Amino acid sequence: MTATRTAPVTEANTPQRKRGAALEDAIREAAYAELTEVGYTAFSVEGVAARARTGKASIYRRWPTKQDLVTDALCTGLPTPAQCGMPFEPDDSVTTADALRTVARTIARVITSPAGDAVRAIKCEAAADPELAQLIDDRFQAPRRAALLGLLQRGVERGEVRPDAVTALVADVIPAVLTHRVILQREPLGEADITAIIEQVFIPLIEAR
């Protein structure tokens, strides 16, 4: 009887273990994926370690707490303002209403993406964690607020918006309505929905009288 020969284990057929910066990048990516897929409550270092194909000890040496890891993963994974199309600078032929529709489409696209899933996953936690809440606002909410304030001021100069409507409170209305529909009502955001939100809610709120 001929003995079965086992192929030798070589570098060619053995996955290479990540180290240093490559390992840290893999852990951050794994943590971001874990957060978007299972949420903050079910997020676990064990799950991240399995995704990154490393041990928990390697993670804890770099990120002592779950919060440290989540915060770092969010800083790396959340889109930058430029990637969100912010700021938006329309040419003179674009009305305030049309400019607002463009911004609303951008916001809707982001909040229905994995980035939106990640932000929603840690919203409740952020309510009790000022540092985490500030991170989310700085990276995710402040750029769109600034873009909307810029469009509102532009609208004032064009005679399309009331001067007293250029406030952070008013600028937060569009994101709040869009987020409400996605998170609480769990409804899709199509072009007709965005148009209705702009024309039925936002334009009456800001238009010059």
**Residue ranges per domain, the chain?**
20-77, 82-206
pLDDT digits (tens, 9 = 90+) for 128-158: 778 777 877 777 778 888 888 999 999 999 9
pLDDT of residue 184: 66
Residue 87's pLDDT band, with cuts at 50, 70 and 90, is low
Handedness of CA 162, 179, 118, 121 (dihedral sign): positive
Region for 16 from its dihedrals, namely left if φ exceeds 0, alpha if ψ lies in -120 to 50, beta otherwise: beta
pLDDT digits (tens, 9 = 90+) for 96-136: 999 998 888 888 888 888 777 777 777 767 777 787 778 77
> How far, in Å, are 22, 96, 140, 157, 187 from residue 179 at the CA level?
35, 21, 13, 29, 10
The per-residue pLDDT of the chain, averaged, comes to 83
Query: Looking at the predicted structure, is the pLDDT value of residue 81 above 80?
Result: no
Angstrom distance (rounded) from CA 165 to CA 10: 68
**What's the longest Cα–Cα distance across the chain?**
96
**CATH numeric code, 20-77:** 1.10.10.60
* Domain 82-206 CATH class label: mainly alpha
pLDDT of residue 111: 80
- What's the token pair of residue 79? 């889109």
